[in-house]
Amino acid sequence: MKQKWKGASLLSPLPAVLVCCGNGVKKNVLTVAWTGIVNSKPPKTYISVRPERFSHKLIEESGVFAINIPTEEIVRELDLCGVKSGKDTDKLALCGFETEECFDIDCFSIAKCPVTLECRVTDKVPLGSHDMFLADIVCVDVDEEYIKDGRLCLEKSRPVAYSHGEYYGLGKKLGSFGFSVIKKSTIKRKARQRRENSAK
């Protein structure tokens, strides 16, 4: 039997990402869980940021930000960037993050993160506690270490999920998109091909 609770921001799990913003003199990185994909063509994403946050003004001024997908290896730094403020802390230095310049926007990325989404803001939507920055994904930076036969094997980087105040690594694979309608013989053949390819 289910209980009735009042409406709340209780969706789980969520991606936990590191968002880079600013450039030149002012640079900052913050942890965001209120993010996701909202459209495919053109590819669009969003982040929701409290107006009083240091990064909010940086994003407003520049009109760009970079979403970095972190790994389990840097989960402590991921948390740190969510509890420290860029107003009085150089979080990049504190975490020992090496940065790289983005390809298509005037921003930077975290070198240790295997994937970065370079984003250009198209709209700011005040929602209450947070403002949502809606953005075009203009470029995706991918670490060659996780590319095999032209496919991104992001699962090998051990990305992090956020669930109701806790960080988690991803569990075992349960299926692939469309697996519920694929014939079992096709699934077995594809699995065999993957095993053969990984043995090469």
Q: Which domains does the chain have, with CATH numbers?
A: 14-169 (2.30.110.10)
Residue 39 pairs in a beta bridge with: 44
Q: Look at residue 11 and tell me whether its pLDDT is greater than 90.
A: no
pLDDT score recorded for residue 186: 66
pLDDT of res. 185: 65
Which residues lie closer than 8 Å to 170 by C-beta, 6 or more apart? Answer: 155, 158, 159, 161
197 falls in which pLDDT band (50, 70, 90)? low
Q: Is the pLDDT at 8 greater than 80, yes or no? A: yes
Confidence (pLDDT) at 182:
75
* DSSP secondary structure letter of residue 159: B
Which one is predicted more confidently, 28 or 188? 28
Does the structure show a pLDDT above 80 at 198?
Answer: no
Percent of the residues in the chain that have a pLDDT greater than 90, as a whole number: 72
63 by Cβ neighbours in 10 Å (0-12 / 13-18 / 19+) ranks as middle
Tell me: the pLDDT tens digits for 17-53?
A: 999 999 877 899 999 999 999 999 999 999 999 999 9
pLDDT at residue 118 greater than cutoff 60: yes
Q: Give the per-residue pLDDT at 95.
A: 96
With left for phi above 0 and alpha for psi between -120 and 50, is residue 96 left, alpha or beta? left
* Percentage above 70 pLDDT, the chain: 94
How does pLDDT run across 54-112, given as a tens digit for each residue? 999 999 999 999 999 999 999 999 999 999 999 989 999 999 999 999 999 999 999 99
What's the pTM value of the predicted model, to 2 decimals?
Answer: 0.89
Whether 158 contacts 71, CB under 8 Å: yes
